[in-house]
Amino acid sequence: MPFTYPKSEKLKSTKTIGSLFTEGKSVSKYPLRLVYIKETHSESGLKFGVSVSKKYFKKAVDRNYYKRVLRECYRLNQDLLKQNIKAPYSMMFFYQTKERLTYQEIFEKTQLLFAKFIESELKIEEKKESV
């Protein structure tokens, strides 16, 4: 599987982003948070976006650095998600602290967060199948 983050996977729709905040479910592994929603009308597998709050990092240089790190962590760990989900999802990835974690720490937290997401979604799928 290629480790790419093509334009077709980038979350850009303002309607979808709005529905993430109103209807989306969330999973977190401090200091990262993943907000997601299952898509019904989308034909592509996964739409993904990242965000770093201006509240925590006033300078755009710092925000952009952490956004690059989050995108890179997603790019290298996306196979965890794609192998375990069947339905199309839209997701938003947040960095939520003033702490300046290293790339390695963020990478490890990303793996734990994706595993937690997969576990929670598999439980939901099992409940639906048993009903």
Domain annotation covers residue 5: no
- In total, how many domains does the chain have? 1
Classify residue 2: in a domain, yes or no: no
Q: Are 61 and 100 in contact (CB under 8 A)?
A: no
The verdict on residue 106 lying in a domain is yes
51 is a domain residue: yes
Residue 80 located in a structural domain = yes
pLDDT at 130: 65
Q: Residue 126 falls within a domain, yes or no?
A: no
- pLDDT interval class at 25 (50, 70, 90): very high
Instruction: Please tell me which residue, 86 or 103, carries the higher pLDDT value.
Output: 103
Q: Confirm whether 1 is domain-assigned.
A: no
Structural domain that includes position 41:
10-118
CATH number of domain containing 69 = 3.30.230.10
Could you give the CA distance from residue 36 to residue 24 in angstroms, rounded to a whole number? 5
In a domain, 127, yes or no: no
Give the angle subtended at the CA of 62 by the CAs of 74 and 118, to the nearest 5°.
20
- For residue range 42-62, list pLDDT tens digits in order: 667 789 999 999 999 999 999
